[in-house]
Amino acid sequence: MQLNKSLQSGFTLLLNGVLTLIVMFCFTTLILLVAGAPPLAAYYHIFKGSLGSWITFGHVIKTWIPLTLCSAGLIYTFRIGLWNIGVEGQIMMGAVFSTALLRWGADWNQPFGVIGLAFAAGIAGGAIWAIIAGFLKTKGGVNEIFAGLGLNFVAQGFILWLIFGPWRRPGVASMSGTEPFPYQLWLSTWPGLRIAPAGLALAIGAVLLTALILKYTRVGLNLKAIGNNAQAARLFGLNPQRNMILAMLLAGGLAGLAGNIQVTGVYHRLLPAISSNYGYLALMVVMLSNYNIWAAPLVALFFACLNVGSIQLPMVLRLDSSLSGVIQGSLVLATLAVQAWRVKRNK
């Protein structure tokens, strides 16, 4: 009986997934036809550009790391019912704080110590930015979406000011960013691939830790209780505001860590586009994985493939690389639609 039931729910899940994919494919194919592009060739190049070789797969993992870190963090804030749209700015501030520490400690002759401190600084940067949004929400009653957006704009302006102001390259200040760090301050990578093992380990660790915290600790239970019914949780003696700040802190810390890895492991300098929209993308990852921590890394991997694969499109097919965003968006919308349709039918 039990088996039968789980089989049935598994079958429904599969059916939903297939239905979602069909809807998504129909929509993107339509868009490609409108743009006058050959759909099959576009899909093929996205596939080849992401999973076609070890080098491109390395790029996929490089994108997967920050995406997964941010997604893991966002699970906390979604659990408690917060829309942490400020995650983008939290990545940026993590990157800024890390860069500040690396510049400051460049001549200490203690590369490992400095990199370690830079990690701490990155986490702190993201967490501080998240806490500001959190306090604006709990103390000021400012909607977290708008507080977060405002802070995103501030972080972007701050990075531009740093790159064109105090941290500009000697001679020419440009959008290409600050002076690269000395080589010994780069996060060591596997030869041939630009993946930092440390980053990969941290991303996997973040997923495991998040799963553990949510499932087995009081914190996880509290977040869930408040997210489901804040009124009841308050009567039960829980403090929603304090827990919201805690959730923001965890989310911001992980986003800051992602920013740090972008700086120390990928670009080795501060860029205006250091966050690469990964924060906004991570929000979609978490939505598509139905706020499930085990599904999030898989969805993040798929999104990373789409992002990396579509980089080829402008060169090969003269299409804009934003096709990946269209696919991702339509996928999330199709999921929501299929879900809702199923619920309606079962009523």
Partner 1 sequence: MISDLNLTILFASVIAGAAPVVLAAIGETITEKAGIINLSLDGTILLSAMTAFAVAFETDSLMLGFGAAGIVGACVAGIVALFSIYLGQSQVAVGFVLTLMCRDLAYFLGNPYSRLQGPQASPLPLPFLKEIPFFGSVFCNHNLPVYLSLVLIFISWMYIYRTSYGLKLRSVGENPAASYVRGINPRKIQLAYTLCGGFLVGISGAVFSLAIKPGWGRPQGCEGVGWIALALVIFGGWHPVRAAAGAYFFSFLQVIGIYGQSWLPSVPAQVFQVAPFPLMIFTLALMHLAQKETVLSWTEEKAWIRTLIRMFSGTAPQSLGKPYQTD
Which spans of this chain sit near partner 1 (rule: CB under 8 A)? Answer: 31, 34-35, 83, 85, 136, 140-143, 145-147, 149-151, 153-154, 156-157, 160-161, 164-165, 173, 272, 280-281, 283-284, 287, 318-320, 322-326, 328-330, 332-333, 336-337, 339-341, 343-344
For CA atoms 201, 206, 211, 213, the dihedral sign is: positive
Report how far apart, in Å, the C-alpha atoms of 138 and of each of 129, 135, 228 are: 15, 5, 18
In the complex, the smallest distance separating the C-beta of residue 140 from partner 1, rounded to whole angstroms, is: 5
Nearer to partner 1, 5 or 344 (CB): 344
Nearer to partner 1, 264 or 307 (CB): 307
Nearer to partner 1, 34 or 235 (CB): 34
Nearer to partner 1, 88 or 111 (CB): 88
CA-CA distance, 46 to 189, in Å (whole number)? 25
Taking residue 242's Cβ as centre, other Cβ atoms within 10 Å add up to 13
Single out the residue of 263, 274, 107 nearest to residue 184, CA to CA: 107
Within 8 A by CB and 6+ apart from 45, the residues are 309, 312, 313, 316, 317
| Residue 55 DSSP SS3 | helix
For helices 111-138 and 240-261, the axis angle rounded to 10 degrees is 140
List the Cα angle 154/121/69 in 5-degree steps: 80
CA-CA distance, 286 to 284, in Å (whole number)? 5
Nearer to partner 1, 151 or 249 (CB): 151
In the complex, the smallest distance separating the C-beta of residue 146 from partner 1, rounded to whole angstroms, is: 5
Nearer to partner 1, 62 or 137 (CB): 137
What DSSP designation does 81 have? Answer: T
In the complex, the smallest distance separating the C-beta of residue 314 from partner 1, rounded to whole angstroms, is: 8
Contact 68, 300 (CB under 8 A): yes
Structure tokens, 160 = 């531009």
In the complex, the smallest distance separating the C-beta of residue 161 from partner 1, rounded to whole angstroms, is: 5
Count H helices and E strands in the chain, helices first.
14, 0
Nearer to partner 1, 126 or 325 (CB): 325
